[in-house]
Structure 1
Amino acid sequence: MIAIARPMPALSTLLRLGRISNLPTVWTNVFAGSIIGGGARPGQLMLVLSAMTAFYVGGMCLNDFFDRAIDSRDRPGRPIDAGEITAGAVCAIGFGLLAAGVVLMMPLGLAAASCGTILAATIVLYDLWHKGNPLSPIVMGLCRALVYIGSCVAVTGGLSNTALIGACALASHVAGITYAAKQEGLDRVGKLWPLLMLAVPLLAALPGLTAWPVLTALVLLLAADARAVYLLANKPVPGAVPLAVSGLIAAICLVDAVAIAGVVGNSAVAAICVLGYPLTRMLQKIIPGT
């Protein structure tokens, strides 16, 4: 039997699979989790950034792998359905990147490696069981919370209360996004009350409103959330739900800016996180973020 060599998938296919346009939100998560946790040594930070990038891209690949049958019906044109890459290759890339993420966390200590392992397992749980699971927004929120927690543990060796509070606020925001995203294929949103979870980071920042960096970051986050809720509630244009979801994903960077400004008062680093929002929005115009 003659083996037929398959062409390598195009770079654009791999970028779409990994939803790399959303990576700035992961990087600002790492900055926030490590800085509000009390440490940010450059060498450690680079390892954590690399690990969390691998976890995110791997998780996105596995999302396409496990959803391939549903995507062929609801979202035709995704890379596997379009024949741009085989399901087996996507599975291998996804699990390979999750394993790489765990390996990258190992030099940072047993606790960091354990956090990485738990994050990888939670990602797989979400990808396997998010369709039809009413708790899937909570599971996705936990995935992002573990980025904060893992980053803090990796650079400090422990978990601070401030990092844990920040992780809970971030988890609420992401759970709200995930609820909206579950309706994205239908371009509709049913009950809007779960979107109240988006308010948790805003409420958590209220004690620090006397400082201008916190107020600035909070106003930007409020504006981004308000625009997304308007799109979800009124659907003024076709594709309003995907537009809102993409905007809320980008606003994760603003959640991180609020956390840094409120806990550390570091306006420079908070500003870097703020810049992650327009960077993500720009990249989403090139590579779809959902």
Structure 2
Amino acid sequence: MSTLPFRPDFNAVLSLCRVSNLPTVWMNVLTAAVLSGAVSNSAGNGPVSHSALLVVLLAFALSCFYCGGMALNDLCDLEHDRLHQRYRPIPAGRITAGHARAVTLALFACALACLLPVPHRAGLVAGVVLLFVIWVYDHFHKRHPSTVFAMAGARLLVYVVTAFALTGGISAVVGIAALVQAAYVLLLTVVARHEGHTAAGRYRWPVIPWMLAAMPLLDGFVLAMLAHPAWLLAGVVGMGLTRAGQRYVRGD
């Protein structure tokens, strides 16, 4: 009697990739695009349309990098999760390690492929660097506390990839936004690591989910100061989308 092949639950894939956090990535890309002048400096239907499509393409590419990084993180942490976080998709049996590897490879391949048609090849080079930093963090973060800087660096590279892909370089204001967000991610990572050392292993209040959701808001404040106050609304929307997504898919 033949048995049907195992098919992963689609919700398990969403959980594996922590898709609820994607609005934070989208806001990073939007911030870098606005501060690079790729959004505000366009004029006319043609350039506006072209720039908008390019920003959407970059948001999709960096979403794939993020989701691939999260999936790789679960693969690298599998033995730890089997003991301490059995609700994660792989130890819970909702998806096999083999399927998770396939998802990871497909996401990274798609991310790099999306960077091929961008106007400046520097964006693709920065994407390869981002992929390397993600690999370093996922493979070594349980053994080397200093890899918190790799996590912050990966988030900083979201801005770098976007700016390089759009303009071939990075302006001072994009650098400021990237450093502010990287510093925040560094703080978030330290707070998240401390959570595991609390008596219950969890904070009584959802500190990490709220800190994750606040990432777009931080970008909104930066844009409000460096570009136009109206951009703060985009940060508020990004925070709301992240919190709404966390109701269905855990982001921590």
TM-score normalised over the length of structure 2: 0.89
* 1:13 maps to 2:24: no
* 1:288 maps to 2:245: no
Same amino acid, percent of matched pairs: 33
The 5 Å alignment of 1:34-45 reads 34-40=33-39, 41-45=51-55
Q: Give the equivalent residue in structure 2 for 1:195.
A: none
The 5 Å alignment of 1:64-213 reads 64-108=74-118, 109-187=120-198
How far apart are the structure 2 equivalents of 1:18 and 1:128? 17
How far apart are the structure 1 equivalents of 2:246 and 2:30? 21
How far apart are the structure 2 equivalents of 1:30 and 1:281? 19
**2:24–2:213: 8 Å Cα contact kept in structure 1?**
yes
1:208-261 CA-to-partner distances (Å, cap 9, x unmatched) read: xxxxxxxxxxxxxxxxxxxxxxxxxxx9xx942671111111111111101211
**1:247–1:281: 8 Å Cα contact kept in structure 2?**
yes
* 1:244 maps to 2:207: yes
The Cα shift of 1:157 comes to: 2.1
Q: Give the equivalent residue in structure 2 for 1:22.
A: 21
How far apart are the structure 2 equivalents of 1:31 and 1:66? 30
User: What is the alpha-carbon root mean square deviation over aligned residues?
Assistant: 1.9
How far apart are the structure 1 equivalents of 2:235 and 2:65? 20
Of residues 55, 72, 76 in structure 2, which corresponds to 1:62?
72
Q: Which amino acid aligns with 2:217?
A: L
How far apart are the structure 2 equivalents of 1:74 and 1:50? 32
Q: Give the equivalent residue in structure 1 for 2:240.
A: 278
Higher-RCO chain (CA-CA 8 Å, sequence separation at least 6)? 2
**1:180–1:241: 8 Å Cα contact kept in structure 2?**
no
**1:102–1:117: 8 Å Cα contact kept in structure 2?**
yes
Q: Which amino acid aligns with 1:253?
A: P
Moved more, 177-186 or 108-117: 177-186
How far apart are the structure 2 equivalents of 1:125 and 1:241? 31
Q: Which amino acid aligns with 1:68?
A: L
How far apart are the structure 1 equivalents of 2:16 and 2:35? 31
SS of the counterpart of 1:251?
helix
Distance verdict in 2 for CA 1:113–1:3, change over 3 Å: farther
**1:184–1:242: 8 Å Cα contact kept in structure 2?**
no
Distance verdict in 2 for CA 1:42–1:245, change over 3 Å: same
SS of the counterpart of 1:240?
coil
Question: Structure 1: 5+ residue runs without aligned partners?
Answer: 189-234
Moved more, 34-43 or 134-143: 34-43
The Cα shift of 1:99 comes to: 1.9
Q: Which amino acid aligns with 2:15?
A: R
SS of the counterpart of 2:144?
coil
Question: Structure 2: 5+ residue runs without aligned partners?
Answer: 40-50
Q: Which amino acid aligns with 2:28?
A: N
**2:121–2:168: 8 Å Cα contact kept in structure 1?**
no
Distance verdict in 2 for CA 1:241–1:126, change over 3 Å: farther
How far apart are the structure 2 equivalents of 1:288 and 1:81? 15
How far apart are the structure 2 equivalents of 1:58 and 1:3? 33
The Cα shift of 1:3 comes to: 7.6
Distance verdict in 2 for CA 1:79–1:39, change over 3 Å: same
Q: Which amino acid aligns with 1:83?
A: G
The Cα shift of 1:22 comes to: 0.8
The Cα shift of 1:160 comes to: 0.6
**Number of equivalences:** 240
